[in-house]
Protein backbone atom coordinates (compact mmCIF):
# COMPACT_ATOMS: atom_id res chain seq x y z
CA UNK A 1 0.00 0.00 0.00
CA UNK A 2 2.81 2.42 0.80
CA UNK A 3 4.37 1.81 -2.60
CA UNK A 4 1.05 2.51 -4.31
CA UNK A 5 0.68 5.74 -2.35
CA UNK A 6 4.22 6.96 -3.03
CA UNK A 7 3.94 6.14 -6.74
CA UNK A 8 0.61 7.95 -7.05
CA UNK A 9 1.87 10.96 -5.08
CA UNK A 10 5.02 11.22 -7.18
CA UNK A 11 2.94 10.95 -10.36
CA UNK A 12 0.70 13.71 -9.05
CA UNK A 13 3.75 15.81 -8.21
CA UNK A 14 5.00 15.32 -11.76
CA UNK A 15 1.60 16.39 -13.04
CA UNK A 16 1.84 19.55 -10.96
CA UNK A 17 5.32 20.23 -12.33
CA UNK A 18 3.95 19.97 -15.86
CA UNK A 19 1.85 23.06 -15.11
CA UNK A 20 5.02 25.08 -14.48
CA UNK A 21 5.14 26.46 -18.06
CA UNK A 22 1.99 28.39 -17.15
CA UNK A 23 3.94 30.09 -14.36
CA UNK A 24 6.72 30.93 -16.82
CA UNK A 25 4.23 32.40 -19.27
CA UNK A 26 2.54 34.50 -16.60
CA UNK A 27 5.95 35.65 -15.33
CA UNK A 28 6.93 36.66 -18.86
CA UNK A 29 3.71 38.61 -19.38
CA UNK A 30 3.51 40.21 -15.96
CA UNK A 31 4.92 40.35 -12.46
CA UNK A 32 3.16 37.70 -10.33
CA UNK A 33 3.98 37.06 -6.70
CA UNK A 34 6.11 33.93 -7.00
CA UNK A 35 5.92 33.27 -3.27
CA UNK A 36 2.16 32.80 -3.52
CA UNK A 37 2.61 30.52 -6.53
CA UNK A 38 5.20 28.35 -4.77
CA UNK A 39 3.03 28.18 -1.65
CA UNK A 40 0.03 27.13 -3.75
CA UNK A 41 2.10 24.38 -5.37
CA UNK A 42 3.21 23.15 -1.93
CA UNK A 43 -0.36 23.25 -0.64
CA UNK A 44 -1.71 21.47 -3.70
CA UNK A 45 0.89 18.74 -3.35
CA UNK A 46 0.12 18.26 0.35
CA UNK A 47 -3.64 18.30 -0.13
CA UNK A 48 -3.37 15.80 -2.99
CA UNK A 49 -1.30 13.55 -0.74
CA UNK A 50 -4.02 13.75 1.90
CA UNK A 51 -6.68 12.80 -0.66
CA UNK A 52 -4.56 9.92 -1.92
CA UNK A 53 -3.87 8.61 1.58
CA UNK A 54 -7.57 8.69 2.47
CA UNK A 55 -8.28 6.75 -0.73
CA UNK A 56 -5.59 4.18 0.10
CA UNK A 57 -6.96 3.78 3.62
CA UNK A 58 -10.51 3.24 2.40
CA UNK A 59 -9.36 0.79 -0.27
CA UNK A 60 -7.72 -1.30 2.46
CA UNK A 61 -11.13 -1.82 4.07
CA UNK A 62 -12.82 -3.33 1.03
CA UNK A 63 -11.89 -5.55 -1.89
CA UNK A 64 -14.50 -3.95 -4.14
CA UNK A 65 -13.06 -1.06 -6.15
CA UNK A 66 -16.42 0.60 -6.75
CA UNK A 67 -17.27 0.68 -3.06
CA UNK A 68 -13.79 1.99 -2.30
CA UNK A 69 -14.20 4.77 -4.87
CA UNK A 70 -17.64 5.82 -3.64
CA UNK A 71 -16.66 5.84 0.04
CA UNK A 72 -13.35 7.64 -0.66
CA UNK A 73 -15.15 10.26 -2.72
CA UNK A 74 -17.77 10.75 -0.01
CA UNK A 75 -15.13 11.18 2.71
CA UNK A 76 -13.08 13.60 0.61
CA UNK A 77 -16.23 15.56 -0.28
CA UNK A 78 -17.09 15.78 3.41
CA UNK A 79 -13.57 17.02 4.15
CA UNK A 80 -14.12 19.77 1.57
CA UNK A 81 -17.66 20.72 2.60
CA UNK A 82 -16.69 21.18 6.25
CA UNK A 83 -14.70 24.24 5.17
CA UNK A 84 -17.48 26.13 3.37
CA UNK A 85 -19.28 28.95 5.18
CA UNK A 86 -22.86 27.81 4.41
CA UNK A 87 -22.11 24.38 5.85
CA UNK A 88 -20.45 25.89 8.93
CA UNK A 89 -23.44 28.20 9.48
CA UNK A 90 -25.79 25.23 9.23
CA UNK A 91 -23.64 23.26 11.69
CA UNK A 92 -23.61 26.14 14.19
CA UNK A 93 -27.43 26.13 14.08
CA UNK A 94 -27.49 22.41 14.87
CA UNK A 95 -24.47 21.99 17.18
CA UNK A 96 -22.69 24.24 19.68
CA UNK A 97 -20.38 26.76 18.00
CA UNK A 98 -17.26 25.21 19.54
CA UNK A 99 -18.12 21.81 18.04
CA UNK A 100 -18.79 23.38 14.63
CA UNK A 101 -15.41 25.12 14.83
CA UNK A 102 -13.72 21.81 15.58
CA UNK A 103 -15.42 20.26 12.56
CA UNK A 104 -14.26 23.20 10.43
CA UNK A 105 -10.70 22.57 11.61
CA UNK A 106 -10.94 19.09 10.04
CA UNK A 107 -11.58 20.54 6.59
CA UNK A 108 -8.94 20.37 3.87
CA UNK A 109 -10.17 23.69 2.47
CA UNK A 110 -9.77 25.45 5.82
CA UNK A 111 -6.08 24.51 5.90
CA UNK A 112 -5.52 25.06 2.19
CA UNK A 113 -6.93 28.61 2.07
CA UNK A 114 -4.06 30.18 4.00
CA UNK A 115 -1.49 28.32 1.92
CA UNK A 116 -3.28 29.41 -1.25
CA UNK A 117 -2.86 33.03 -0.16
CA UNK A 118 0.89 32.48 0.23
CA UNK A 119 1.05 31.90 3.98
CA UNK A 120 2.55 28.48 4.71
CA UNK A 121 1.77 27.95 8.40
CA UNK A 122 3.43 25.09 10.18
CA UNK A 123 0.04 24.09 11.61
CA UNK A 124 -1.40 23.62 8.12
CA UNK A 125 1.57 21.57 6.95
CA UNK A 126 1.41 19.45 10.11
CA UNK A 127 -2.31 18.91 9.52
CA UNK A 128 -1.82 17.57 6.00
CA UNK A 129 1.18 15.44 7.01
CA UNK A 130 -0.80 14.09 9.98
CA UNK A 131 -3.75 13.15 7.76
CA UNK A 132 -1.38 11.40 5.37
CA UNK A 133 0.46 9.49 8.09
CA UNK A 134 -2.68 8.57 10.03
CA UNK A 135 -4.53 7.33 6.93
CA UNK A 136 -1.56 5.28 5.80
CA UNK A 137 -1.06 3.90 9.32
CA UNK A 138 -4.68 2.78 9.55
CA UNK A 139 -4.52 1.30 6.06
CA UNK A 140 -1.38 -0.69 6.84
CA UNK A 141 -2.91 -2.01 10.07
CA UNK A 142 -6.06 -3.10 8.23
CA UNK A 143 -4.03 -4.87 5.54
CA UNK A 144 -1.88 -6.60 8.17
CA UNK A 145 -5.00 -7.83 9.95
CA UNK A 146 -6.42 -9.13 6.68
CA UNK A 147 -3.15 -10.97 6.01
CA UNK A 148 -3.21 -12.52 9.47
CA UNK A 149 -6.74 -13.87 8.95
- pLDDT tens digit string along 90-148? 888 888 888 888 888 888 998 999 898 888 889 999 999 999 999 999 999 999 898 88
Q: Which residues have CB under 8 Å from 118's CB, separation 6+?
A: 33, 35, 36, 39, 40
What's the total number of domains in the chain? Answer: 1
Burial string for 45-54 (b: 16+ CB within 10 Å, else e) reads ebbbbbbbbb
What is the rounded distance in angstroms from the CA atom of residue 71 to the CA atom of residue 113? 25
Cβ–Cβ contacts within 10 Å for residue 13, how many?
A: 15
- pTM for the whole thing? 0.86
20-67 residue pLDDT tens: 999 999 999 988 988 899 999 999 999 999 999 999 999 998 889 999
Higher pLDDT, 97 or 10: 10
Q: Which domain holds residue 135?
A: 2-148
- Tell the burial category of 75 from Cβ atoms under 10 Å away from its Cβ (0-12, 13-18, 19+): middle
Rounded CA separation 65/1 (Å): 14
Amino acid sequence: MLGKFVAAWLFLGLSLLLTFPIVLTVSYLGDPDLGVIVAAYIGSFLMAGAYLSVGCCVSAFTANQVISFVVSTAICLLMILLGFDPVIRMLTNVFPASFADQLMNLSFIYHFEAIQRGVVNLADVVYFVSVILFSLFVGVIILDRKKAD
